[in-house]
Amino acid sequence: MELKVSKEAAEWYKRELDVEDDTASLRFYVRYGGMGGNIPGFSLGVKESNPEDPHTSQEVERINFFIENADVWYFDGKDLEITYSRKSDEPQFKYIN
């Protein structure tokens, strides 16, 4: 699986999570509940964290976005593409086969 984060989405995360450190790491992790996820009953959360056992990562706008091996099951072999929607002023998640 691959992780693709657009520059605009990375800028949104910087702004909304008040990321000031130029070497920050943001983890996408599986959480119980929420809407719009890849598997019903689960959704993605995001938090500032250092990688421990990363499966995939991408650096954008000096932020290391990553997914740990423990959370790979959620993606069911799909890639994750995160873009930014100006209309809703939030990131959009797309799971790609």
Segments making up each domain of the chain, as ranges: 3-96
Compute the distance between CA of residue 2 and CA of residue 78 in angstroms, rounded to an integer. 8
Compute the distance between CA of residue 84 and CA of residue 97 in angstroms, rounded to an integer. 20
* pTM of the model as a whole: 0.93
Please list the pLDDT of the chain residue by residue as tens digits (97 residues). 999 999 999 999 999 999 876 779 999 999 999 877 899 899 999 999 999 999 999 999 999 999 999 999 999 899 999 999 999 999 999 999 9
The pairing of beta strand 42-48 with beta strand 63-68: unpaired
Nearest to 47 by CA among 23, 69, 72, 66: 66
Q: What is the CATH architecture assignment of 3-96?
A: Sandwich (2.60)
